[in-house]
Chain A
């Protein structure tokens, strides 16, 4: 039954052979050449090319900052290389740092990855504090601390931050007989317990099929991020099991879930996005500055004129980035100059106006275009004032290299509790065994 494949032997024409051989040789050479480093021809007659590696729509290019710098500094050309997902971007950056080659002159670093850069890899980065032209004083102290190594090297300059407020829907609050004015709502949210008490009231009097908040995971992040120590103790040890902040945040989230206040959503899932458009919940407990744009794009016309933003009882930082200059770069001096310029207060203010990235520079917060900014979609909320005030209250949080892993596993535990009906104890022990496995060397 088994039939053998028939093989035909037909000699190729010689010319075809030579051609094939040539093609093979070309491919092989191309392959080898691809491995070589591409030496940029920096220098020359004062002409410099500065390359910048970023992820997503970082905003520098979109806000026209490169063009502006090139005009101010004739002879400088800036090229940007962007990778859509930070996950892909950071994987490539890690490999390149390990090989010390293929690095751009300036590289962006997301706050979730800053701890690994200030840790083992810090020697691969230029220390900005050694450069006289760089002013690091204008940054918010906690932002600067995040990019400072134990021995005081500053390896990244802050771009944007994510100070948080609480986003809420005025139409649902009105239906529930709650105040809608953002001052009054802010006063209502005196602490997280009272935030949940308002939730009970909302559940009792509010519209039937609308939940008070999106999910327990969102509640957890809102609470835990406002503490100095979350998953790591001050001496850099993993400590999430005995951490008071994790305990408090877990209990409050469980309370919210068990009281049925949540819509059982996982943040950034498709369902969560659709839930915005459908107006399925009334508040977002941790609503950083950049989330306003997100809500606007997801909720669209349905949410126009009904969302507003109030002060958080305990503002925290969520997200934000840095830019650093790798030691292996060709144009370090020029790159440092550009990095300092890009993160200077005026440029940060411009990035905020153009792109909505909230400045990490305290000096930028004083500028009128930031301080007096309002958000049209959020009923002209004075977001400059709200988030400036919030960012002043944000503590310096201990950041560990595995923060993201720990946080995601804990929020997963809360999903298991909400959606799969686990008890708080079972969900927590699930989290611990997942993390024991994930964190073991």
Chain B
């Protein structure tokens, strides 16, 4: 790396670096020449030392403006009573906004909904993705087409997908109720029921994210050395046994990754419940209001900026706790893995 640099021309900005024609004796470097070399090498040192930082600075500048500052400002706002109507007038209330959440039935309701929707959307989604990836991993005709097809739901917008699903789940004119009616089942008021509405939302999530996870699993499966399967089959392992004892252990880090990503996604779930009926309350009795939706309602509809900020920070802290849990889990899994090997 360094040799390349020494070979490079000096940066154009250094003035006075032009060779002096009258110092032409060339018996060792003259004092000016030495100065020049020194300056040049200093410039290279700096270049080497600081340019990497300059190159990554755009990300950090943007992150500071659109990530870090909002994060800190939200934290600051969470300690104040502030209205969205006039966010400049803030009144210090300490941790009141956080402590009141403890007694806030709607916060607990939203947390519970986020949790249940998270479970019923993430678990089937990842299991299905694993199975599909396994199937796609076999040699077959048109596998590329299948893989692309798997990813199309991921490429659609949440809004478009949710609006279509909302129409499917419509009470009076929805296609699903129409199909149920054909087989003699009474129409279901999907949006009004607690479980039915949460089921509807999780189908949207599952539909959108299964393909994405499938491809991640598929990529990981293709990295599993073939001889493992060969030796397993020599030992008389069936396909299912191969899947259980070769594929799954090899995929463990990938599975953990998808679980973490899905958990973060589930905690922040917003678009699907918001657009199911197009209102921020998440059903007449908040039966499918998630944390993200509750934060939105508090901030943008009820106009309590400080309280909404506190909910946002609670969600953030919740994710950190979950992250730590997973980290501990990885360590444990890693250890037990090490013992097995």
Q: Which residue of B lies closest to A116 (CB)?
A: B85
Residue contact A437 to B104, C-beta cutoff 8 Å:
yes
Chain A's nearest CB lies how many Å from the CB of B305? 10
* Distance of A270 Cα from B5 Cα, bound (Å): 65
Residue contact A437 to B106, C-beta cutoff 8 Å:
yes
0 or 1 for each of A5-40: is its CB under 8 Å from B? (1 = yes): 000010100100110110110011001000000000
Given contacts A11-B1, A274-B173, A280-B172, are A28 and B58 in contact (CB under 8 A)? yes
* Distance of A185 Cα from B190 Cα, bound (Å): 37
Interface residues of A in 94-111 (CB under 8 A from B): 94-95, 98-99
Interface residues of B in 265-299 (CB under 8 A from A): 277-279, 281, 284-286, 297
Given contacts A28-B61, A95-B87, A274-B173, are A1 and B250 in contact (CB under 8 A)? yes
Chain A's nearest CB lies how many Å from the CB of B220? 10
Q: Which of B55, B284, B301 contacts A415 (CB 8 A)?
A: B284
Residue contact B172 to A412, C-beta cutoff 8 Å:
no
Contacts of B279 in A (CB 8 A): 408
**A-side binding surface: helix, strand, loop or mixed?**
helix
Residue contact B8 to A14, C-beta cutoff 8 Å:
yes
Answer whether residue B207 sits at the interface, using C-beta atoms and an 8 A cutoff: no
Answer whether residue B65 sits at the interface, using C-beta atoms and an 8 A cutoff: yes
Residue contact B277 to A266, C-beta cutoff 8 Å:
yes
Answer whether residue A293 sits at the interface, using C-beta atoms and an 8 A cutoff: no
Residue contact B171 to A271, C-beta cutoff 8 Å:
yes
Contacts of B284 in A (CB 8 A): 412-413, 415-416, 419-420
Contacts of A434 in B (CB 8 A): 106, 281, 286
Interface residues of B in 83-108 (CB under 8 A from A): 84-88, 104-106
Contacts of B87 in A (CB 8 A): 94-95, 98
Chain B's nearest CB lies how many Å from the CB of A92? 12
Q: Which of A24, A268, A408 contacts B58 (CB 8 A)?
A: A24
Answer whether residue B238 sits at the interface, using C-beta atoms and an 8 A cutoff: no
Answer whether residue A297 sits at the interface, using C-beta atoms and an 8 A cutoff: no
Q: Which residue of A lies closest to B250 (CB)?
A: A1
* Distance of A31 Cα from B69 Cα, bound (Å): 14
Interface residues of B in 46-70 (CB under 8 A from A): 51, 54-55, 57-58, 61-62, 65
Interface residues of A in 267-295 (CB under 8 A from B): 268-271, 274-275, 278, 280
Contacts of A31 in B (CB 8 A): 61-62, 65
Q: Which of B58, B104, B253 contacts A1 (CB 8 A)?
A: B253
Q: Which residue of A lies closest to B194 (CB)?
A: A420
* Distance of A439 Cα from B297 Cα, bound (Å): 12
Query: Considering residues B4, B192, B285, which has the most beta carbons from chain A within 10 angstroms of its beta carbon?
Result: B285
Residue contact A441 to B285, C-beta cutoff 8 Å:
no
* Distance of A419 Cα from B58 Cα, bound (Å): 52
Contacts of B173 in A (CB 8 A): 271, 274-275, 278
Please classify how large the interface on chain B is, using the bins under 10, 10 to 19, 20 to 34, 35 or more: 35 or more
Answer whether residue B11 sits at the interface, using C-beta atoms and an 8 A cutoff: yes
Answer whether residue A259 sits at the interface, using C-beta atoms and an 8 A cutoff: no
Answer whether residue B300 sits at the interface, using C-beta atoms and an 8 A cutoff: yes
Residue contact B285 to A430, C-beta cutoff 8 Å:
yes
* Distance of A402 Cα from B55 Cα, bound (Å): 49
Chain A's nearest CB lies how many Å from the CB of B84? 6
Q: Which of A1, A438, A441 contacts B252 (CB 8 A)?
A: A1
Residue contact B250 to A270, C-beta cutoff 8 Å:
no
Q: Which residue of B lies closest to A14 (CB)?
A: B8
Q: Which residue of A lies closest to B281 (CB)?
A: A412
Given contacts A415-B284, A441-B81, are A274 and B170 in contact (CB under 8 A)? yes
* Distance of A114 Cα from B106 Cα, bound (Å): 29
Interface residues of A in 388-441 (CB under 8 A from B): 401-402, 405, 408-409, 412-413, 415-416, 419-420, 430, 433-434, 437-439, 441
Residue contact A24 to B172, C-beta cutoff 8 Å:
no
Q: Which of A18, A405, A419 contacts B302 (CB 8 A)?
A: A405
Q: Which residue of B lies closest to A119 (CB)?
A: B85
Q: Which residue of A lies closest to B57 (CB)?
A: A24
Answer whether residue A204 sits at the interface, using C-beta atoms and an 8 A cutoff: no
Answer whether residue B140 sits at the interface, using C-beta atoms and an 8 A cutoff: no
* Distance of A332 Cα from B336 Cα, bound (Å): 73
Answer whether residue B23 sits at the interface, using C-beta atoms and an 8 A cutoff: no
* Distance of A20 Cα from B250 Cα, bound (Å): 40
Given contacts A31-B61, A91-B300, are A401 and B85 in contact (CB under 8 A)? yes
Answer whether residue B167 sits at the interface, using C-beta atoms and an 8 A cutoff: yes
* Distance of A165 Cα from B88 Cα, bound (Å): 42
Answer whether residue A87 sits at the interface, using C-beta atoms and an 8 A cutoff: yes
Residue contact B170 to A21, C-beta cutoff 8 Å:
no
Answer whether residue B166 sits at the interface, using C-beta atoms and an 8 A cutoff: yes
0 or 1 for each of A72-106: is its CB under 8 Å from B? (1 = yes): 00000000000000010001001100110000000
Residue contact A94 to B84, C-beta cutoff 8 Å:
yes
List 11 extra interface pairs beyond A91-B84, A99-B88, A278-B172, CB under 8 A.
A1-B253, A24-B55, A24-B57, A31-B62, A266-B277, A268-B278, A408-B281, A412-B284, A415-B284, A416-B285, A420-B192
When A and B form their complex, which 6 residue pairs have the shortest distance between CB atoms, in order from nearest?
Answer: A415-B284, A419-B192, A416-B284, A438-B302, A412-B284, A24-B58
B residues contacting A by CB (< 8 A) are: 1, 4-5, 8-9, 11, 51, 54-55, 57-58, 61-62, 65, 81, 84-88, 104-106, 163, 166-167, 170-173, 189, 192-193, 249-250, 252-253, 277-279, 281, 284-286, 297, 300-302, 304, 334, 337, 341
A-B CB contact pairs (8 Å), 20 listed: A1-B250, A1-B252, A20-B55, A24-B57, A28-B58, A28-B61, A31-B61, A91-B84, A91-B300, A94-B87, A121-B85, A269-B278, A270-B163, A270-B167, A275-B172, A416-B284, A420-B285, A434-B106, A437-B106, A438-B302
